[in-house]
């Protein structure tokens, strides 16, 4: 059975969704860059080894990345899943996990890479918003797109209501994308992700 290491920084609701999805894979460990990440508790309660690689204990990005890599490699995972991991990783680290590290981002990339995606979506007046699961590449929030879920933006939406509705979709689309990965159904050709199997739906459209 393939194994996954999940990296978190905070709440960990996406990690929880992945664990609860009953995937044909083992979540071998959850690693946080912050000791106070709430999600560590769920991991420990679920019997998943939970480890902190505290970013404050390292003076350089290189030293932190090396420690993180060592913590991951103890489990020899097939996949590293970033789930609300709020730290930019160095180019060498990202290259090391090329094609086997994925991320969830709360916007329909390539729109709104970076932070405050819901606020920016409202400011731009977009009518569709959502989330994206993508392979991680050195350019932050720009890797090959595996799957997206889109929701309508309503007139009365606030940053909080949008965030909540997008998060519901994150919990749906991230486990699905990881399932495709562990089933060996993903291939990247010229930066475009193909999913093997005719029933694979890379776009989830939510009608409200």
The set of catalytic residues is: 105
Of positions 7, 10, 134, 153, contacts ligand GRF by CB under 6 A: 10
55: alpha, beta or left? (left if phi > 0; alpha if psi -120 to 50): alpha
For residues 190 and 38, give the distance between their C-alpha atoms in angstroms, rounded to a whole number. Answer: 38
Q: Report CA Rg, the chain.
A: 17
For residues 77 and 48, give the distance between their C-alpha atoms in angstroms, rounded to a whole number. Answer: 14
For residues 14 and 81, give the distance between their C-alpha atoms in angstroms, rounded to a whole number. Answer: 10
Instruction: Rule CB under 6 A: say whether 12 interacts with ligand GRF.
Output: yes
For residues 203 and 169, give the distance between their C-alpha atoms in angstroms, rounded to a whole number. Answer: 11
Instruction: Rule CB under 6 A: say whether 105 interacts with ligand GRF.
Output: yes
Q: Are 148 and 177 in contact (CB under 8 A)?
A: no
From the CB of 176, what's the least distance to ligand GRF, in Å?
15
Of positions 6, 19, 32, 84, contacts ligand GRF by CB under 6 A: 84
The SS3 assignment for 144 reads: coil
From the CB of 197, what's the least distance to ligand GRF, in Å?
26
Site string for ligand GRF, 44-83 (x = CB under 6 A): ---------------------------------------x
Give 23 or 167: the residue with its C-beta nearer to ligand GRF: 167
In the complex, which residue's CB is closest to ligand GRF? Answer: 84
Using CB under 6 A, list all residues that contact ligand GRF. 8, 10-14, 83-84, 104-106, 131, 167, 170
């Amino acid at each position: 059975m393939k194994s996954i290491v999940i990296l978190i920084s905070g709440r960990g609701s996406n990690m929880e969704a992945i664990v609860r999805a009953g995937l044909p894979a083992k979540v071998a460990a959850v690693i946080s860059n912050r000791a106070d990440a709430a999600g560590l508790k769920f991991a420990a309660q679920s019997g998943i080894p939970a480890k902190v690689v505290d970013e404050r204990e390292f003076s350089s990005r290189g030293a932190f990345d090396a420690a993180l890599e060592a913590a991951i490699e103890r489990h020899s995972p097939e996949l590293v899943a970033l789930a609300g991991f709020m730290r930019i990783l160095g180019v060498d680290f990202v290259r090391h996990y090329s094609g086997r590290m994925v991320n969830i981002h709360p916007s329909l990339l390539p729109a709104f890479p970076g932070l405050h995606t819901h606020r920016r979506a409202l400011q731009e007046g977009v009518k569709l918003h959502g989330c994206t699961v993508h392979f991680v590449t050195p350019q932050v929030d720009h890797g090959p797109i595996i799957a997206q879920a889109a929701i309508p933006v309503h007139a009365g939406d606030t940053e909080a209501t949008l965030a909540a509705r997008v998060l519901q979709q994150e919990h749906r689309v991230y486990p699905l994308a990881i399932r495709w990965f562990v089933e060996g159904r993903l291939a990247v050709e010229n930066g475009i992700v193909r999913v093997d199997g005719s029933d694979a739906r890379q776009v989830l459209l939510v009608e409200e």
